[in-house]
Structure 1
Amino acid sequence: MASLATRAVVNLLYRSPFNPRSTGEPDDAVVELVEGPDALPPGRALDLGCGSGRHAVYLAKHGWDATGVDLVADAVAQARNRAVTEGVAPRLIQGDVAELGKLGVPGGNNLVVDAGCFHGLPSRMRDAYVPEVTRLAAPGALLLLLGLAKHPVLKGVQKDELTRRFTQWRLIRAESVAGAEMLRYGDGNPMLRRAFEKGWFDPWRYLLRRES
């Protein structure tokens, strides 16, 4: 599904100095779902665009049957090294999030985390991503999606697109994410840091529940 051009762009962006390097700290919202006062019971989780594995490894450490998928081979290699260091064994798969069925990703996922994957997909990959994710999600599953509304290269994502595409899901919450919080998850060059501090990328977090 991902064209050669898309794969090349993703790999270049991953290695770019403008791409935030993961600090390894899970998103506050993921921690809230896993450890908060209304914590979900451990189940099966899917981390899309898992990068260096900060969420897949975190979920595995907290008793979840976690699977991480990323298109970039170097990112998956880093995630596997992180998992070994942390003493856990999530499934970590190098592949296309628009072709999850071909990758052998298990279904029945109670939680799906997308911390910066969907917002970079071209339209035709989004067309495939939504039914694939829906098929692999258990009834009542939660989808936590973090994306930039603005970006000079990536397409970005906004609430109206999510509600239009995810017809079998209900949007529970949409909230703007402060640049200071974003900078805790990824460490980049000074120009990138200033951009997040000034809110140029307009990051948002969405929580959806599968209803059918």
Structure 2
Amino acid sequence: MTDLNSRHGLNPPHSEVVDACQHIAPCDALDMGCSNGRNALYLSQLGFNVTAVDNIANAIRMLHAIVAQEGIGNIDPRVYDINQAKLDADYGFIACTVTLMFLDPARVEAVLADMQAHTLPGGYNLIVCAMDTPAYPCTVRFPFTMNEGQLSALYQGWEMLKYNEDLGTMHNGAQLQFATMLARKPA
């Protein structure tokens, strides 16, 4: 597989996306908060049909340019305000890595409910979100952080393939506690 990410100066795909793809066959996928497309490019090379959304128009323009330059036919980059919680299609896989922290805190539960509603039966949601806990107070001023147990509670009834609230490192080196979940919707 060609390393399109490094060719275009992007970070590698998120490690949790790479791990999730060990369990998920190519399908229609949504990359929520795609930025410049590091995860979308990876998924497309594995054969997923990827809708890549972000509210930052410049990031979507950059991804459009990469898609055009590389002749990629299975990525559809779109400007979309995730806070709206109005997805218009259903997906077998929705990846939302280090995105929720930048949303309007009052809209996060609606966004997660919308993701769940637009996940096909037997489909998957992958979420990685920074936490703010007494043991590990969040040192980054994100608009939103998860509390202990909050993410798992919102996915009751889904099969948890992976769930942890471990320490992790952001790409800028910040050590934070993250809620990480790969869950499968009942078929």
- Report the counterpart of residue 148 of structure 1 in structure 2: 130
C-alpha contact 1:148 1:203 (8 A) present in aligned 2:
yes
C-alpha contact 1:53 1:80 (8 A) present in aligned 2:
no
Superposed displacement of residue 168, structure 1: 4.8
Bigger RCO of structures 1 and 2 (CA < 8 A, at least 6 apart)? 1
Deviations 1:19-40 (A, max 9, x none): xxx8331122222333x3xx42
Superposed displacement of residue 100, structure 1: 5.0
- Say whether 1:30 aligns with 2:17: yes
- Say whether 1:205 aligns with 2:187: no
C-alpha contact 2:159 2:184 (8 A) present in aligned 1:
yes
- Report the counterpart of residue 9 of structure 1 in structure 2: none
Gaps of 5+ in 2: 1-8, 132-137
- Say whether 1:65 aligns with 2:49: yes
- Report the counterpart of residue 102 of structure 2 in structure 1: 120
C-alpha contact 1:119 1:148 (8 A) present in aligned 2:
yes
Superposed displacement of residue 151, structure 1: 4.4
Deviations 1:167-198 (A, max 9, x none): 4534332232542xx43xxxx4xxxx3xx2xx
Summarize the alignment of residues 132-147 of structure 1 with structure 2, pairs less than 5 Å apart: 132-147=114-129
Letter in 2 for 1:26: P
Task: Decide which moves more: 92-101 or 58-67.
Answer: 92-101
**Quick one: distance in 2 between partners of 1:161 and 1:70?**
24
- Report the counterpart of residue 135 of structure 2 in structure 1: none
RMSD (CA atoms): 2.3
**Quick one: distance in 2 between partners of 1:118 and 1:99?**
13
**Quick one: distance in 1 between partners of 2:106 and 2:184?**
23
**Greater strand percent: which structure?**
2
- Report the counterpart of residue 64 of structure 2 in structure 1: 80
Compared CA separation, residues 210 and 32, structure 1 to 2 (3 A):
same
Deviations 1:27-84 (A, max 9, x none): 22222333x3xx4221110110111111112211221111111111111112222223
The one of 89, 105, 108 equivalent to 1:106 is 89
Gaps of 5+ in 1: 1-21
**Quick one: distance in 2 between partners of 1:203 and 1:163?**
12
- Say whether 1:52 aligns with 2:36: yes
Superposed displacement of residue 85, structure 1: 3.4
**Quick one: distance in 1 between partners of 2:150 and 2:79?**
27
Deviations 1:88-110 (A, max 9, x none): 13111111123353x6x421x11
C-alpha contact 1:145 1:206 (8 A) present in aligned 2:
yes
Compared CA separation, residues 56 and 177, structure 1 to 2 (3 A):
farther
**Greater helix percent: which structure?**
1
TM-score, normalising length from structure 2?
0.78
The one of 153, 167, 172 equivalent to 1:164 is 153
